[in-house]
Amino acid sequence: MKKSLVALATLAATAAFAQSSVTITGIMDANYQSLDFFGQKINQVGQSGARTTTFKFIGTEDLGGGTSANFQFEVQPSIIAGDANASLLGGNTKTGAGGASGVTYGQAANPSGLVGKGESFVGLKDNTYGEVKAGTVNTNTFKAFAALSQLGTGIGSGYDSGMIFTAITRLESSASYDTPVWNGLSAGIQKGFGNDNKFGTTTTQYQVRNTVTDYGLNYSNGPLSLKYANRNEQAFTTGVITTTRWIGGIYDAGVAKVTLGTGAVKTDNAATDATQSIASVSVPFMGSYRFIAQQGSVKYTAGAPAGSAQNGNKNKIMGLALEKDLSKRTFVYLRSENVTLGAADLTAIYSNGALLSSQAAGGNTKRTNTAVGISHQF
């Protein structure tokens, strides 16, 4: 009898344990790059050229009745150097683009509290009522951009480069709610409680958490997906509200996937207003190959980085990629990007510690990057 009770207790404990799990997953991505950074040529080994190098610890517990408790802790380590965590040129800083100052390319971000520098949260999910998360959560604005960018946030995408698209990836000290999917339609809302230092910026101004409200709408029906996101950020120091919007669609015809999107950044004092666009196409061929072409631009309509003289000019990027699958989890890639800065303030961009030359209005300053790499998911 005692053996039976022990056996039953052991079985019950095993069953209870089986209802919860912790998974370690992630991506390792490294590449060899050849860069021309405003005339400064560099060859180096970089990372995250196609996908972000990351480790994720994901936990879930089945609470019954279609409800589960979930957590995630994401770490984005450097695998190339102790002070490098980007695919951009190390040892260079910039100001102007987007109004931030003191950004150092090639260095790990230094925001307060972001220990892992990735999306980390704990929450509850219900099949009927949706999901809530609390912690450092990815924004709906980022999810919309990531869906529209077939080059992700890597080389050629223009994302988080400080030259094309603004880093709007995640919010510290935030809570979010995502609805379940109803007939292809879903929505999400997120609140940043005195948050958002736009990780990657190290100035005192951006260590202060601004207040952010971010929401998104999604629709999916067969090959068509539509995305809309809106983000309102109120500056802690000035009270100025900056609104960032993205809207676009993805159509997957099998033989090719096409995405089109447009966005806008507006401040209520018109200090920095801009329109954004992105278009991309991905074509699979010969079974294991993909060709991707993507173009993006930002046109300043007020308060351009170099001042009013640059209003009406564009910063543009053209990205190309050739990828070959080696397995379901590993592929090799060739990527290139060509950035043209028609609205940039070179007197605020540093190269090896020295300010670059002044740029006349409408000037076309080039930045190129070509990389060969491998990306593995585990």
Q: Where are the domains of the chain?
A: 22-377
Percent of the chain with pLDDT over 90: 57
CA distances from 373 to 115, 158, 229, 295 (A): 27, 18, 32, 21
Q: How confident is the model at residue 310 (pLDDT cuts 50, 70, 90)?
A: low
- Tokens for 157? 């995408």
Is the CA virtual torsion 78, 369, 333, 282 positive or negative? positive
Q: How confident is the model at residue 275 (pLDDT cuts 50, 70, 90)?
A: very high
CA distances from 122 to 31, 69, 130, 338 (A): 33, 8, 14, 40
Contact 257, 288 (CB under 8 A): no
Burial classification of residue 246, based on how many CB atoms lie within 10 Å of its CB (0-12 exposed, 13-18 middle, 19 or more buried): buried
The predicted pLDDT at position 344 comes to 67
The predicted pLDDT at position 87 comes to 37
Predicted model pTM: 0.82
More confident residue, 363 or 302: 302
In one-letter notation, the amino acid at residue 200 is: G
d(CA 143, CA 146): 5
Q: Which residues of 73-88 are buried (b: 16+ CB within 10 A; e: fewer)?
A: bbebbbebeeebbbbb
Q: pLDDT, tens digit, for every residue of 164-200? A: 887 678 988 899 999 999 999 999 999 998 744 454 4
CA distances from 202 to 105, 207, 256 (A): 11, 7, 41
The predicted pLDDT at position 92 comes to 39
d(CA 378, CA 31): 18
Q: How confident is the model at residue 19 (pLDDT cuts 50, 70, 90)?
A: confident
What is the third-level CATH fold of 22-377?
A: Porin (2.40.160)
Average pLDDT score over the chain: 81
